[in-house]
A and B are shown apart, each in its own frame.
Chain A
Amino acid sequence: MENFLKKITKDVDLSFAILLSFCVYVFFAINIEVFFSHNISFAILERFAVLGLVGLALTICIIAGEIDLSIGSNAALCAVIVVKLTDPLGAPLAMIIGLSVSTLIGATQGFVIAFIRIRAIVITVGTLMLLRGVALLIAEEKTVMLTDFRVPDFITTKVLMYFSPASLTVIFIFICVGIFMRYTKYGREIYAIGGARKEALTAGIPLRRPMIIAFALSGFCAGFAGTVIGLKSGTAQGLGLQYLLLAGTVAAFVGGVSILGGKGGVLGAAIGALTVNFLNTGLVFYALQVHFVQLFTSVLLVIVIVFQTMSRVFDSRQARKSLLATIDERKTSLLEKKRSALGR
């Protein structure tokens, strides 16, 4: 516990994330009577199953110092594949095929980025469009639908009051990824190439391995989010799911990742996703139109960006000040030495 508190007070961004999440929750809990109930908690966790995964996918990429813009398209592609194949092949096999396609796409992106050494935003803008087109092709430009609705029913059954099979799986994925990022060599390499790429490469870390792993993980998470959405609603479209990019970015940034890379973690991603979910779920009660939800989510993002930029500027000013102070100190001490030497 003490360790935990120490960690939180040391990490400004994480503590800001917790504070922000708490504020949003308390605001809605005060204003809406039913907000603090089992059903709402269940609904929040249901949304968490989707948004948390997208936030996690973006968090991993941003930790590696890159940003993956093709998440929405990747999720849409996976959703289309899974929904289309569930009827002929059954849900498990369809999921395996869809997720392996998503993971493979992510790994290919990571390989290209590491091989050509370009920034990820450049290549992922291209794949954003490409994957969207492929998803449209596979769906034959129609909405793909399930005919057998036992799978959606199974996914949304309540387990243990708060959970459903989907959210339980997602929490399991979160724990696995958290352990992987924190305690394995490969996970630490992702942090290393994000935080200090030149130093990491000089120290002998190959760029390709962590980059491929990071993007494969992010592709897997995005694909899984698409799978959950597709199987829950029983439908999928090639052009859908583009809003995931904004929501996922907000979740990742609220969770305290830094755009410079090497910072943040799975815990932060979970908190960020929960914050966005509180906001989305709370806004439902005000019966607002869709664009208001987008507006408020963006405002949240801007608040976080301003806070991060300000804290960075503040840090650099502090560092400069302390440097100047040290220089002054040395100067005066040297002068005194000189004076005392002359005086003698």
Chain B
Amino acid sequence: MAVDRTTVAHIAKLARIRIDAEQQDALTADLNNILSWIEQLSELDTEGVAPMTSVVEMRLPQRPDAVTDGNCRDKILRNAPETMHGFFVVPKVVE
């Protein structure tokens, strides 16, 4: 399944990555190269095979639904590019 520049632009939009016009051509070529290579999986018959869901056979552990961490607002905010009054600051969302 070949992808064109428009599809690459659409995927980049979905992935929230800005791509320059000149990057777009190179990426389209790269993606087509990689996709046609992984295409070889289609020659395998996987009818009736259940997709792998767990790497090592194990039952997922359960724990009580209790608060075990938190109360460290300032520690968390310390790495933020911009903060105000104990909040993360982002560009205006609502006019």
B partners with A:
no
Interface residues of A (CB under 8 A from B): none
Give B contacts to A, CB under 8 Å. none
